[in-house]
Chains A and B, each alone.
Chain A
Amino acid sequence: MIVVVGAGPAGIAAALRAQECGARVTVIDDNPNPGGQIWRGDDENSWVARFRSSGIPLLSSTRVVAVDVEARSLLVETDGVSGRLSWKKLVLATGSRELFLPFPGWTLPGVFGVGGLQALAKTGLPVAGKRIVLGGTGPLLLAVGAYLRQHGADVKLIAEQANIQSLAGFAPELLRHPRKVLQGASLQWAIAGTPYRTGCWIDSAEGVNKLERVTVRSGRDIWTEDCDYAGVAWGLTPNTELLESLGPEPEDVYVAGSGEVDLSFVEGEIAGLNAAGYPERTVLLAPKLEKARGFAAALATTFALRDELRHLAKPDTIVCRCEDVTYGELRKFTSFRAAKLQTRCGMGPCQGRICGPANEFLFGWETGTVRPPVFPAKIATLFSDAPLPADTTGQPDTKEITS
């Protein structure tokens, strides 16, 4: 039995390839619908449709909170039920989340990750007439800018930190990917009329108890933009918590995805074939892998974060939002471990998911120190070997999920 964690492009590709080889596969994802960050809830996407009609079981709204490598089992939790699921081969396709860099005022209500702002808008946050500034880097800024405009927002500025020279350097790579050029062209159409400044970034956010304006910088020019919401995008950071909890070189565990969509997909295909025991079939995917890697590498170079961004945080800027630990406090330490012990940085409910990557960027610290459970789990889940009677404790029913 192959268990795939994550039903994004990588997980879907892994599951379909493994099934093609005749393997038994189950997929787990903590969202209600398959598709991952990019295709979520998009039933028109042909891969999501293929996955749905494949007959591969999907445990949706189910999250993996720990992996036991010795026992080859996963501790999973879903609404009201939790238990263990055993695997012979495990594919981790857990994707990525947004990276956040601290700057003065980033804790003000009204400052979001651009992906987060889009997710909120898609789930009922009215944006019509709202004045919005987007800042950071990468194609996601344009995609979300276009989405917000289509829904009536007044997108006042899109500030791209990369400079025009590096964007121009990206053009030849785009030409090798005609489908992406089309995507890019339609995005440009959708944001026509919105100022898009390169070599430009949000320096700080200001307001009393909520966002009122941002200060923007481009070269020597500094100005403010009044706004209701700001969306920031500094790139993505992979969800490596489960993998890190496994220790070095775990057997029969395959990892795929977390990057740009085409690369995630082909990595998923490869992981699926390997897990199903057909590594020789991956040879055919080599050209596809190389092409996807080329594009992903060009993206990474074009939208590399500039050094100035390391200096946005001031001594009183909060870095760890769970425990309110400031840049000034953290800068006294030489490692994340030391900072954690002395300041509780990274020890709040997000378990360092937000401040960990920020600390890596600011100080060059290694921060991968997540311990199971990788998500705050219900107590019942942690003791799921010893089922609690639901009627007497009022706790969720706990049972063994057999596969």
Chain B
Amino acid sequence: MTRISINGHQVSVPPGTMLASALLGSGAFRFRNSVSGEPRAPLCGMGVCFECRVTVDGHPHARSCQVPVREGMEVNT
């Protein structure tokens, strides 16, 4: 299992899981806030819509549907 931290909470997922899938699986639904403050989560699952953006290891705007999980990854939504 690969351990990642989601908003400070430790979560274990099978290796190779895509970050967006791991986040949704862990119950996260607010990946980002839209410009008017609505919660948004993945739509396209293939890197096109940019709705799944999160902060990964301090880098903002990572498209989580294109990022495989890595041991020790710190994710903030």
Q: Does B45 lie within 8 Å of A117, measured CB to CB?
A: yes
Per-residue contact bits, chain B 25-59, to A (CB 8 Å; 1 contact, 0 not): 10001110011101111111111111101000000
Asked whether A55 is an interface residue with its Cβ less than 8 Å from the other chain, the reply is: no
Q: Does B35 lie within 8 Å of A119, measured CB to CB?
A: no
B interface majority secondary structure: loop
Asked whether B75 is an interface residue with its Cβ less than 8 Å from the other chain, the reply is: no
Question: How many residues of chain A have a CB within 8 Å of chain B?
Answer: 33
Among the listed stretches A86-94, A177-185, A271-279, A349-357, which one makes contact with chain B, having 4 or more residues with CB under 8 Å of it? A349-357
Residues of B within 8 A of A125 (CB): 20-21, 24-25
Q: Complex formed: what's the CA distance from A110 to B22 in Å? A: 14
Asked whether A120 is an interface residue with its Cβ less than 8 Å from the other chain, the reply is: yes
Choice from A110, A120, A210, A353 contacting B20 with Cβ under 8 Å: A120
Residues of B within 8 A of A100 (CB): 43-44
Per-residue contact bits, chain A 301-336, to B (CB 8 Å; 1 contact, 0 not): 000000000000000001001111000000000000
Given contacts A123-B17, A123-B18, A124-B18, contact A107 B34 (CB under 8 A): yes
Given contacts A124-B14, A124-B16, A126-B25, contact A97 B44 (CB under 8 A): yes
Q: Complex formed: what's the CA distance from A299 to B21 in Å? A: 32
Counting contact residues on chain B (CB < 8 A from A), the size range is: 20 to 34
Q: Does B34 lie within 8 Å of A324, measured CB to CB?
A: yes
Q: Complex formed: what's the CA distance from A286 to B35 in Å? A: 51
8 Å CB contacts to B: which residues of A326-381? Answer: 348-350, 353-354
Residues of A within 8 A of B51 (CB): 321
8 Å CB contacts to B: which residues of A90-128? Answer: 97-98, 100, 107, 109-113, 115-121, 123-126
Given contacts A119-B65, A124-B21, A209-B29, contact A113 B44 (CB under 8 A): yes
Choice from A107, A121, A348, A349 contacting B38 with Cβ under 8 Å: A107
Residues of A within 8 A of B44 (CB): 97-98, 100, 112-113, 115-116, 354
Residues of B within 8 A of A354 (CB): 43-44, 48-49
Q: Complex formed: what's the CA distance from A354 to B44 in Å? A: 9
Q: Complex formed: what's the CA distance from A120 to B42 in Å? A: 9
The 6 lowest CB-CB distance pairs between A and B, nearest first, are A116-B45, A124-B17, A109-B41, A123-B18, A125-B21, A119-B45
A-B pairs with beta carbons under 8 Å apart, 12 shown: A109-B31, A112-B43, A112-B44, A116-B42, A117-B45, A119-B46, A124-B14, A124-B17, A124-B25, A209-B30, A210-B29, A321-B43
Further pairs besides A120-B24, A124-B14: 13, Cβ < 8 Å: A100-B43, A107-B40, A109-B30, A109-B31, A112-B42, A113-B43, A116-B42, A116-B44, A120-B20, A120-B65, A121-B21, A124-B22, A354-B48
Which A residues fall within an 8 A CB radius of B? 30, 97-98, 100, 107, 109-113, 115-121, 123-126, 209-210, 318, 321-324, 348-350, 353-354
